[in-house]
Amino acid sequence: QHSVVVADTGDLEAIKRYQPHDATTNPSLLLKAFDMPGYQALIDAELAAIRAEGGDRQAQAEHAVDRLAVAMGSEIAKLVPGRVSTEVAARLSFDTEASVRKAHELIELYERHSVSRDRVLIKLAATWEGIRAAEVLEKEGINCNLTLLFSDTQAQACFDAGVFLVSPFVGRVTDWYKQATGQDFTPDTDPGVQFVRGVCHRVNQGAYHTVVMGASFRNTGQVLALAGCPRLTISPALFEELATTPGEVKPRVLMARSGGPRPTPLTEPDFRWGHNQDAMANDKLAEGIRRFADDQERLEEQIADRLATL
């Protein structure tokens, strides 16, 4: 009623059950999906085609991650009316040109599956280089989802670049503050909830067109505290809990773009200094990139093993 719901899963059965508008994937979700029964025929077909093309086994595994991400995303696109987010490899997070090339490759793969670019969001880490890549892609008509967003500085740089969507994280922000302070938080005092509300406020003040999508939820209290945020990406476990919880959902975030004066766009030194001054954001962005890269490597290893058996 108040927010567009996005599925934070690659599980086709869960997507069918909860009927979200959009779906988002990342290397961690692809790693889980690699063992799901519903994907085995698709995986076998893609890997057989890659194996037949020949070439170096490691290069095949790296290419297979993109092929599988798009093949799975294409299946998901049949089930949702909106868009599917597909991630550029985390190891490219500090390389603008390589990120743009990878995005072009992903869009071309989607088009081979008859999924047009207006059904896809290219997902990039919100580093300076990732934001610059998104700026280039948006001008080409390729919309982007900037992920691993933890600081106001990252958010402002994304608004300046005109990106389609940003994914400010809730749970990982709260995790950091809980560990740093030893405190527990109510939904309204939750640092992750407050951060996303602040990002929404910035969008309203500057009348930016960027869509805000709250992500990385730890509990339903956080989800409900952000009802009214334009989009919320929710895991199947939290979907289930929400579906079985009685009560009325009231909007907690009001999106009313006032169109006030916008700040001067951030320069690269401004961005790097502003982000550096936020210890939580600095820690969590670096950690998030490492975690996605680790999951990508694990997925490549599993693919290489499977290719060897074909």
Helix (H) or strand (E) holding 145: strand 144-149
Helix (H) or strand (E) holding 23: strand 22-24
Instruction: Say which residues have a Cβ less than 8 Å from residue 127's Cβ, sequence separation at least 6.
Output: 93, 94, 285, 289
Pairing between β-strand 231-234 and β-strand 120-125 as defined by DSSP bridges: unpaired
d(CA 6, CA 220): 15
d(CA 221, CA 70): 33
32 is a catalytic site residue: no
- Supply the Cα-derived Rg of the chain in whole angstroms: 19
d(CA 157, CA 39): 37
Of 123, 139, 178, 284, catalytic: 123
244 φ, ψ (degrees, to nearest 5): -105, 10
Where in the sequence numbering do the catalytic residues fall? 123
